[in-house]
Amino acid sequence: MNQKLKNRSKLSNDSYDIDENKSLNDIKFEKNKIKNNSTNFCLKLIKFLTVFILITIGFSYVTTETFTFGHKIPNWRKYIPRKERVFTVEELSKYDGTNPDLPIYLAILGKVYDVTAGRQYYNAIDGSYGFFSGKDATRSYITGCFKTHLTHDLRGLTPGEIKNLNQWVDMYSKSDKYFYVGTVILPEIDPNSPIPAPC
Ligand code: HEM
């Protein structure tokens, strides 16, 4: 009798095990189905967005002859958080555009800006404003003297003239093309030295 009971319980356990396996498989199947469904949805969404973006760009080009409906694309480099650099005058001089593998930097009022996006103006080889690069030539921004005034020496200039420099600083700091890099340690001006001669 006892043996019979044992066998019965064994049997019922076996059948219970089989049921449990079945339901586990079912769950796995359901899970995979959900996973596949969401993957399919994501792929469809990516496909839709790609086609939508391409059509929009195409439409923009046909109507405005630009890919962005005439809007300027901001310089993404400007928004990358970066460590502020401190240059010596010698270090800064390397970034004058003579080496095409290096960015172009210039300084105004001791602040260094990356002007690589304007390489055609700022490279020291054949850029029309190449004399600004790799140095702080603040004085020449005011006087327009690009020979003897390529210096940070502002002695003899009026407060009004110096205030006008803000326009140039704004041009670099608010530009979509250029961005702030750091500062340059400028040598102190010897008060006994002569004021730079005008061009
Ligand atoms: C104080 C005098 C001047 C300073 C400091 C100065 C400075 C500059 C700078 C920094 C740029 C580059 C702008 C950029 O990065 O987008 C530039 C561009 C330009 N400047 Fe001047 N500029 C001066 C006077 C003049 C004068 C008198 C003329 C006209 C005869 C002139 C004509 C141009 C032109 C045509 C450009 C466009 C870029 C090019 O073709 O080289 N600038 N200027």
Are residue 80 and residue 168 in the same domain, yes or no?
yes
Task: Please tell me the predicted confidence (pLDDT) of residue 15.
Answer: 47
Taking all residues of the chain, what is their mean pLDDT, rounded to a whole number?
88
Which pair of structure tokens corresponds to residue 8? 């019965």
Give how far Cα 117 sits from Cα of 62, 103, 139, Å.
27, 9, 23
Q: Are 107 and 113 in contact (CB under 8 A)?
A: yes
CA of 97 to the centre of ligand 1 (A): 18
Are residue 90 and residue 59 in the same domain, yes or no?
no
Q: Closest Cα partner for 141 from 106, 176, 115, 175?
A: 106
What lies within 8 Å, CB to CB, of 171 at 6+ separation is: 178
What lies within 8 Å, CB to CB, of 46 at 6+ separation is: none
Q: Is residue 38 part of a domain?
A: yes
Are residue 131 and residue 177 in the same domain, yes or no?
yes
Q: Domain end: 71, 96, 131, which one? A: 71
In short, whether 129's Cβ falls inside 6 Å of ligand 1 is yes
Measured distance CA(128)–CA(114) in Å, rounded: 17
Are residue 131 and residue 48 in the same domain, yes or no?
no
Are residue 92 and residue 180 in the same domain, yes or no?
yes
CA of 2 to the centre of ligand 1 (A): 107
Are residue 51 and residue 118 in the same domain, yes or no?
no
What are the pLDDT tens digits along the chain (199 aa)? 455 444 444 444 444 455 556 677 888 888 888 888 888 999 999 999 999 999 999 999 999 888 888 887 767 777 788 899 999 999 999 999 999 999 999 999 999 999 999 999 999 999 999 999 999 999 999 999 999 999 999 999 999 999 999 999 999 999 989 999 999 999 999 999 999 999 9
Q: Is residue 197 part of a domain?
A: no
DSSP class of 87: E
Are residue 65 and residue 99 in the same domain, yes or no?
no
Q: Are 109 and 169 in contact (CB under 8 A)?
A: yes
Task: Please tell me the predicted confidence (pLDDT) of residue 34.
Answer: 84
Q: Domain end: 14, 41, 71, which one? A: 71
In short, whether 180's Cβ falls inside 6 Å of ligand 1 is no
Are residue 53 and residue 94 in the same domain, yes or no?
no
For residue 55, what are the domain limits? Answer: 1-71
- Phi first, then psi: give them for residue 158, nearest 5 degrees: -80, 155
Are residue 165 and residue 115 in the same domain, yes or no?
yes
Question: 107 pairs with which residues across the strands?
Answer: 112, 136
CA of 32 to the centre of ligand 1 (A): 64
Give how far Cα 99 sits from Cα of 33, 132, 149, 179, 180, Å.
58, 15, 24, 19, 20
Question: Rounded to an integer, what is the distance from CA 51 to the centroid of its chain?
Answer: 27
Residue nearest to atom 28 of ligand 1 (CA): 144
The label of the residue with tokens 């460590």 reads: 83
Indicate which CATH number applies to the domain containing 123: 3.10.120.10
Q: Is residue 140 part of a domain?
A: yes
Claim: this prediction has a pTM higher than 0.85: no
Are residue 177 and residue 88 in the same domain, yes or no?
yes
Biggest CA-to-CA distance, the chain: 122
Which tens digits make up the pLDDT trace of 101-119? 999 999 999 999 999 999 9
Which tens digits make up the pLDDT trace of 142-174? 999 999 999 999 999 999 999 999 999 999 999
Q: Is residue 32 part of a domain?
A: yes
Are residue 85 and residue 110 in the same domain, yes or no?
yes
Are residue 3 and residue 93 in the same domain, yes or no?
no
CA of 8 to the centre of ligand 1 (A): 99
Q: Is residue 153 part of a domain?
A: yes
Number of structural domains found in the chain = 2
